[in-house]
Amino acid sequence: MTGFLAPLMFAGWAAAGADKDCGVPVTVRVVDAASEQPIASAVVRNRSEQDRRRVNTETGQWSDCALYLPDGTELLIEKGMTLEFEISAPGYTNQSISYLVRRRKNLISVHLTEMVIDMSDEDPDDIVIQFGRDKPID
């Protein structure tokens, strides 16, 4: 009866950081770099996956403990894995991050900066509409 004491202890020690039905939970929190407010429309995409995961619209957070690969396999996130995320939101510049999974407290805060497209070089006043006369040949 006592023969399994040691393995039991080691198994418990190993399982302390990760649920046996799931991997190590990883949370990505996406906020506006200027206002520090959560971005409700942000999505998080792991490079191994094909799907984009939406963040919670209230908290701006996405969290999971496994990756769902295109071939249907479920890859549990484990300590020591390197995860590569691409975080995007409409109107914001994309950000790619690489993260080494720790045993616990895997909270990644991502600050997206607003995308500014300069439209000042186009002005409708600069476009001259020719009248209906035939244009002279150069």
Partner 1 sequence: MRITRTGLATLAVGVGLAGAAQAAQWVDFPGAFPDFPCQDGWMACIVDGASVSPELVDGPADLRLTWFDLQPTRSFDPFGGLSAYVGVLEENDVPPAVEQDATEAQRAADAAQAEDAARREAEERDAARQVAADEVARQRDAQVRATERADQLVREAQSASAADQQRLAAAAQVERDAAAVAQAAQREAEAERRRQEEAQAAAEAQANAAREAEAERVAKAAHDAEAARVAAANVQAGPVDCTDLTGLELNASLGKLNDGTIACLESRLSAAPRLTEKKKISLVLMANAWFKGDKKSWESLVKRHFDEIGQSDPDLCYKYALYLSTQGPGRATGVIRWANVALENRTAWTGDTFTSRVYSLYKLRAVASKGLWAVAEERHAADASEETRNRVDKHRNMTKVNAREWYEYAKSAGKDPASALSICMSAAGTKDYCEG
Give the integer Cα–Cα distance in Å for 6 and 38.
Answer: 46
Binding string, residues 30-49; x marks residues near partner 1 by CB under 8 A? ----------xx-x-x-x--
For residue 5 the two structure tokens come to 């004491």
- Strand 61-64 and strand 26-32: the pairing is antiparallel
**Chain Cα centroid distance, residue 119:** 29
- C-alpha distances out from residue 42 to 47, 74, 81, Å: 16, 24, 24
Interaction between residue 137 and partner 1 (CB under 8 A): no
Cβ proximity to partner 1, 107 vs 115, nearer residue: 115
- Contact between 38 and 61 under an 8 Å Cβ cutoff? The reply is yes
* Binding residues for partner 1 restricted to 56-95, rule: CB under 8 A: 57, 86, 88-94
Least distance (Å) from partner 1 to the CB of residue 35? 15
**Which of the stretches 6-14, 20-28, 29-37, 67-75 binds partner 1 when contact is defined by CB under 8 A?**
6-14
Q: Name the residues that contact partner 1, by CB under 8 A.
A: 1-3, 5-6, 9-10, 12-13, 16, 40-41, 43, 45, 47, 52, 57, 86, 88-94, 96, 115, 117-119, 121-124, 127-133
